[in-house]
A and B are shown apart, each in its own frame.
Chain A
């Protein structure tokens, strides 16, 4: 490194440290959001320049001369050596979804500081390490998928266990994403109208890009964007119209059934008709909104009104229950570390990478970028009035349903707010009410609307920006539900195919229909359970999602550890053992607490026991209205507990297999990893 380079990095480190010092020492006065951004960007740059380089050069021994899959057998379609900046965009668009936007919003209930620190430490030492390692492993094995990599390096049984785990995670993700949409659109004719309008819009785009001007993605997306803006503008009139508004006003349970029906039908339609065009809209809107949020935060420079720490670090918060450890590390999954990325990093990206030297930029770099998105979501949730935050995120069972009861309940929590402020905020964003709109999306939308309206349009535009943000989230969640149902169907067909080989056939009709039906039924079950849950459902489903997602990350890191041992590089294996151990510690503690905690707000079995005891006494406990409903609550709790136990079994068995494979590899006197040899150039 040159002298100037050294001075530059030292200066950056000082700037980052200064920003962190400002955040850490501010007591009582509001910290400006720009300090958070400066601290985060400094941490990312330093981690990328030093730690990621260490991982690439020393730990795994990246060799830019070694041909990648795209170089070994290019086909112009799946295997194409791609410019690293172009590929970065592809990879980032594939990994960044609703997760990094929602988790930090929910975590803000304990203050912004714990979430921020976990996002920074987690991404540098765990999340980006996982993404980079899996990309590296897949790149040296012809772009194989995670399941195949585990089978190759650890054996067929752990491979199948990981597949079962991945399918269950998919189901929970789909349910929780759909729940967020339900919570955001219930009783909101404006929001519902704009989302419904995207369906005919996407169909028209589909026809346009199929027959009228095939392949003109830019053109058709611009047309779609114009349609979206018109839908948002016109939605205000629909919501105000006495004759139209009832057509777009639904209860959560009605929305739940609409979504289940939609999911089943949409995933059977040809992909070019609905899925592909809406994917264009949601992808470009996502990238655009993220860029606009970054510009907005820097230009507006809003102060953080949420305290650095709230009294809810003790685990009694209304948004989610449980103490900071382990539940913060479960609540913020994506953005710090997300196991789901292991599926993406072993998907299309390794087949497109042009040189091994690019793996650091794409694998590690794109995850840093996702963490930055999560930091911005945390900022957006923290710039709004904390009173408004808790009014929006507390369940109706806690704050009631009218402005007066909500104002007194939230003020009693220690976040003073008046009924007038609640009513005024609802009016500003063009909604009938903002009380207990859990799920994260509406809160984020209020935060984004607050930032955007200071940039463009002022208070008069706030309702437009709020519905723009809701639409942007709903759009890519619906795309994820649709694409996820299809992917889940194939996973299920592969799993059933292990027993009944004919089931694997991807094109035959009956297995496809059965697979789709089972997949929709599975996530629909959890969605219905969440929607009818008096505590909002987020309370139950989000921890399950976080636990499963972090466990998949632990599995991917165990795989990476095994491969380091098999490469005879075990002296560096601490880079994956360290984050894997932390994730196992958090997820195992959290799932044991979810199973066995005696506090009914945390433990599924304790909650089930409370309700079944009441049934034995012939009592009904709120919110259940009959003994039959009571029975359903008990049943749901037991299914959630079983799911938790399943996740636990998956991770414990993978660790067992991992340790065994490491021990065997250590005894050998030669490397045993099944990489494609460096010299197998152009084997075609």
Chain B
């Protein structure tokens, strides 16, 4: 594993720990599955995920 990949893995892990999945994966998914639909930019994606993590019904954190 190259150092760049290792770093990317750590960054992805840290971001998912606070509920933000990979934007790259989102772009790749939209390009592959829904090329006709509008794609959120990175800011909109970040806000969407923030709202989904804390604003919705799955705000439970463990004791």
Q: Are B43 and A483 in contact (CB under 8 A)?
A: no
Q: Are A271 and B51 in contact (CB under 8 A)?
A: yes
Q: When the two chains form the complex, which single residue of A83, A214, A334 contacts B62, counting CB atoms closer than 8 Å? A: A334
Q: How many residues of B contact A (CB 8 A)?
A: 42
Q: Are A89 and B13 in contact (CB under 8 A)?
A: yes
Scan B47-60; emit 1 where CB is below 8 A from any A CB, else 0.
11111111111111
Q: Are A99 and B63 in contact (CB under 8 A)?
A: yes
Given the contacts A280-B18, A483-B61, A484-B61, A86 and B54 also touching, CB distance less than 8 Å: no
Q: When the two chains form the complex, which single residue of B12, B54, B55, B60 contacts A344, counting CB atoms closer than 8 Å? A: B60
Q: Are A177 and B17 in contact (CB under 8 A)?
A: no
Q: Are A98 and B60 in contact (CB under 8 A)?
A: no
Given the contacts A87-B16, A90-B17, A484 and B42 also touching, CB distance less than 8 Å: no
Nearest residue in B to A98 (C-beta to C-beta)? B63
Given the contacts A214-B42, A280-B18, A76 and B26 also touching, CB distance less than 8 Å: yes
Given the contacts A80-B25, A215-B42, A486 and B59 also touching, CB distance less than 8 Å: yes
Q: Which residues of B contact A170 (CB under 8 A)?
A: 60
Given the contacts A89-B14, A486-B54, A97 and B63 also touching, CB distance less than 8 Å: yes
Q: Are A75 and B29 in contact (CB under 8 A)?
A: yes
Scan B1-19; emit 1 where CB is below 8 A from any A CB, else 0.
0000000010111111111
Scan A59-83; emit 1 where CB is below 8 A from any B CB, else 0.
0000000000000001111101011
Q: When the two chains form the complex, which single residue of A76, A341, A343 contacts B25, counting CB atoms closer than 8 Å? A: A76
Q: Min CB distance, A569 to chain B, in Å?
A: 29
Q: When the two chains form the complex, which single residue of B13, B23, B52 contacts A90, counting CB atoms closer than 8 Å? A: B13
Q: Are B50 and A479 in contact (CB under 8 A)?
A: no
Scan A144-183; emit 1 where CB is below 8 A from any B CB, else 0.
0000000000000000000000000010010001000000
Q: Which residues of B contact A94 (CB under 8 A)?
A: 61-62
Q: Are B57 and A80 in contact (CB under 8 A)?
A: no
How far, in whole Å, are A178 and B30 apart by their CA atoms in the complex?
43
Given the contacts A83-B9, A99-B63, A348 and B15 also touching, CB distance less than 8 Å: no
How far, in whole Å, are A487 and B9 apart by their CA atoms in the complex?
30
How far, in whole Å, are A185 and B9 apart by their CA atoms in the complex?
38
Q: Are A95 and B54 in contact (CB under 8 A)?
A: no
Q: How many residues of A contact B (CB 8 A)?
A: 58
Q: Min CB distance, B46 to chain A, in Å?
A: 4
Q: Are B17 and A93 in contact (CB under 8 A)?
A: yes
Nearest residue in B to A214 (C-beta to C-beta)? B43
Q: Are A283 and B62 in contact (CB under 8 A)?
A: no
Q: Are A271 and B50 in contact (CB under 8 A)?
A: yes
Q: Min CB distance, A268 to chain B, in Å?
A: 12
Nearest residue in B to A494 (C-beta to C-beta)? B57
Nearest residue in B to A211 (C-beta to C-beta)? B43
Q: When the two chains form the complex, which single residue of A95, A97, A215 contacts B46, counting CB atoms closer than 8 Å? A: A215
Q: Which residues of A contact B28 (CB under 8 A)?
A: 76
Q: When the two chains form the complex, which single residue of A75, A215, A341, A484 contacts B59, counting CB atoms closer than 8 Å? A: A484
Q: Are B47 and A272 in contact (CB under 8 A)?
A: yes
Q: Are A77 and B48 in contact (CB under 8 A)?
A: yes
Q: Which residues of B contact A217 (CB under 8 A)?
A: 14-15, 18, 20
Q: Which residues of A contact B22 (CB under 8 A)?
A: 80, 82
Q: What secondary structure prevails in chain B residues at the interface with A?
A: helix
Whether A585 sits at the interface, judged by CB under 8 Å, is no
Given the contacts A90-B13, A271-B55, A340 and B63 also touching, CB distance less than 8 Å: yes
Q: When the two chains form the complex, which single residue of B21, B26, B47, B52 contacts A352, counting CB atoms closer than 8 Å? A: B21
Q: Min CB distance, B52 to chain A, in Å?
A: 7
Nearest residue in A to B20 (C-beta to C-beta)? A217
Q: Are B13 and A85 in contact (CB under 8 A)?
A: yes
Q: Are B60 and A343 in contact (CB under 8 A)?
A: yes
How far, in whole Å, are A75 and B28 apart by their CA atoms in the complex?
10
Given the contacts A85-B9, A89-B13, A484-B59, A80 and B29 also touching, CB distance less than 8 Å: yes
Given the contacts A279-B18, A283-B18, A487 and B59 also touching, CB distance less than 8 Å: yes
Q: Are B62 and A341 in contact (CB under 8 A)?
A: yes
Q: Which residues of A contact B17 (CB under 8 A)?
A: 89-90, 93, 283-284, 287
Whether A276 sits at the interface, judged by CB under 8 Å, is yes
Whether A109 sits at the interface, judged by CB under 8 Å, is no
Q: Are A214 and B47 in contact (CB under 8 A)?
A: yes
Whether A649 sits at the interface, judged by CB under 8 Å, is no
Nearest residue in B to A73 (C-beta to C-beta)? B33
Nearest residue in A to B55 (C-beta to C-beta)? A271
Q: Min CB distance, B12 to chain A, in Å?
A: 5
Q: Are A214 and B13 in contact (CB under 8 A)?
A: no
- Candidate in B9, B54, B56, B58 with the most chain A CB atoms within 10 angstroms: B58
CB-contacts of A548-565 with B (<8 A): 549
How far, in whole Å, are A90 and B20 apart by their CA atoms in the complex?
10
Q: Are A86 and B12 in contact (CB under 8 A)?
A: yes
Q: Which residues of A contact B58 (CB under 8 A)?
A: 347-348, 487
Q: Min CB distance, B59 to chain A, in Å?
A: 4
Q: Which residues of B contact A86 (CB under 8 A)?
A: 9, 12-13, 16
Whether A275 sits at the interface, judged by CB under 8 Å, is yes
Q: Which residues of A contact B26 (CB under 8 A)?
A: 76-77, 80
Q: Which residues of B contact A506 (CB under 8 A)?
A: 56-57
Whether A338 sits at the interface, judged by CB under 8 Å, is yes
> Which A residues contact B (CB, under 8 angstroms)?
74-78, 80, 82-83, 85-87, 89-90, 93-99, 170, 173, 177, 210, 214-215, 217-218, 271-272, 275-276, 279-280, 283-284, 287, 333-334, 338, 340-341, 343-344, 347-348, 352, 479-480, 483-484, 486-487, 490, 494, 506, 545, 549
Can you name 29 A-B pairs with beta carbons within 8 Å? A74-B33, A76-B29, A76-B30, A77-B48, A77-B52, A80-B25, A80-B26, A86-B16, A89-B16, A90-B17, A96-B62, A97-B61, A173-B63, A217-B20, A272-B47, A272-B50, A275-B54, A276-B53, A284-B14, A333-B63, A334-B62, A340-B60, A348-B19, A484-B61, A487-B60, A487-B61, A506-B56, A506-B57, A545-B63
Top 8 A-B residue pairs of the complex, sorted by shortest distance between their CB atoms: A99-B63, A215-B46, A271-B54, A76-B29, A76-B26, A89-B13, A93-B17, A487-B59
